[in-house]
Amino acid sequence: MNHIRNFCIIAHIDHGKSTLADRMLEFTKTIQVTGGQMLDDMDLEKERGITIKSHAIQMEYQYQGQNYILNLIDTPGHVDFSYEVSRSIAACEGALLVVDATQGVQAQTISNLYMAIEHNLEIIPVINKVDMPSAMPEEVEDEIVELLGCDKSEILRASGKTGEGVENILNAVVERVPHPTGDDNAPLQALIFDSVFNSFRGIIAYFKVLNGVIRKGDNVKFFNTGMEYAADEVGVLKMDMVPKQELHTGEVGYIISGIKDAKEVKVGDTITHRDKPCQSAIEGFQEVKPMVFAGVYPIEPSEYENLRASLEKLQLNDASLTFSPESSVALGFGFRCGFLGLLHMEIIQERLDREFNMDVITTVPTFRTWFTTNWVTNARCTTFGIA
């Protein structure tokens, strides 16, 4: 456990988190240098140049003659995906707070920082993009000192483009981020922070072990749903999934247990052993509060059940999506979906189309205003999604 560091990268949108993470993966030889964005592996992410999903990946790093395991989680910067950030933070002990040297501290820098501080993460401030001619590292340094109340000497400088400063960042992670704590001999308690549907292998849940050990073949129970499974495969997340015999306290990994029904896996649930369960579940995550609502209807009414199954699978991978059945005289049966923002809504529509081949009609969104709980409704109905 003393040689594990779990940390995430947080920042405002486009401040260079994923680029910097790619450089770290190259430096630690986790991936070969191939150019392009490695961590943003979804087509949609590549096309738009933004991160949509948090991405966990393990690196091995040698520092002062010792081998360390660094579990990194790259997070999205856009406010619509901030639920991804909040869940990633729960799996970490430290955070790199990246600030663009040309732009300085921005809204999401601050809100993501607060989330990290709330979870008692060790913050390592990093000024990125120092290679750019318009970089103002001194000014940004002052902003960070004001924000964090830290010493200037604690602020690192780096460039995701040239790779400058990447080694210093990795060293600082080892030196400053506390190792995970927990009891390897206690009953198993592992927090599910993400999941994904795989058409060949069923549902894969990503977790962090807070106490105890999980082994391949163990009989496990999901605390909140009460469902029991056999751990067919457990392992760690490198560029691909790497199977392991066991995962100990402090480690981050995945479990495949043949679950086919998306409703059985809840992000925030606790995995424990069937025969030697823990006393209580780990406190999960805050409920999401959708800000934008829209009806999503299948173009073919017969596709209604398929749409439900697709939304359930999508929800596994995007815990901030909410939906409930509704019907309309004009459009028939569909779902009222809640999103964190307009970009989120657009991305869900795209993912329904690309990943599940669902053609849908989306009604004009309604908004939850920040000031009141009233709805600003718009009764008009148009067809997004089918151009």
Ligand X SMILES: Nc1nc2c(ncn2[C@@H]2O[C@H](COP(=O)(O)OP(=O)(O)OP(=O)(O)O)[C@@H](O)[C@H]2O)c(=O)[nH]1
d(Cα 253, Cα 356) in Å, to the nearest integer? 26
- CB proximity list for 92: less than 8 A, separation 6 or greater: 6, 7, 8, 71, 73, 119, 121
CB of 22 to ligand X, least distance (A): 8
Residue 16 within binding range of ligand X, rule CB under 6 A: yes
The interface partner of residue 28, options being ligand X, Mg ion, none and the CB cut-off 5 to 8 Å by kind, is none
Residue 11 within binding range of ligand X, rule CB under 6 A: yes
Residues 161-190 that bind ligand X (CB under 6 A): 161
The Cβ-side half-sphere exposure at 323, using a 13 Å CA radius, reads 28
Residue 320 sits at the vertex; the CA angle it makes with 319 and 321, to the nearest 5 degrees, is: 90
- Give the range of 11-19, 182-190, 267-275, 307-315 binding ligand X by CB under 6 A: 11-19
Which amino acid would we find at residue 22?
D
| Residue among 14 and 232 whose Cβ is closer to ligand X | 14
Compose the 127-166 pattern: x for residues touching ligand X by CB under 6 A, - for all others. -xx-xx--------------------------xxx-----
The interface partner of residue 161, options being ligand X, Mg ion, none and the CB cut-off 5 to 8 Å by kind, is ligand X
| Residue among 18 and 363 whose Cβ is closer to Mg ion | 18
CB of 328 to ligand X, least distance (A): 34
**Which residue of the chain is nearest ligand X when measured via CB?**
77
Residue 51 within binding range of Mg ion, rule CB under 5 A: yes
Residue 125 within binding range of ligand X, rule CB under 6 A: no
- 3-class DSSP state for residue 222? strand
Which amino acid would we find at residue 380?
R
Residue 18 within binding range of ligand X, rule CB under 6 A: yes
Beta-carbon count within 10 A of 250 CB:
23
- CB proximity list for 35: less than 8 A, separation 6 or greater: none
Question: What does the DSSP assignment read for 279-301?
Answer: SSPPP--PPP---EEEEEEESSG
150-176 burial: b if 16+ Cβ within 10 Å, else e: eeeeebbbbbbeebebbbebbebbbee
CB of 241 to Mg ion, least distance (A): 21
- Which residues of the shown chain bind ligand X in the complex (CB under 6 A)? 11, 13-19, 49-51, 76-78, 128-129, 131-132, 159-161
- Which residues of the shown chain bind Mg ion in the complex (CB under 5 A)? 17-18, 51
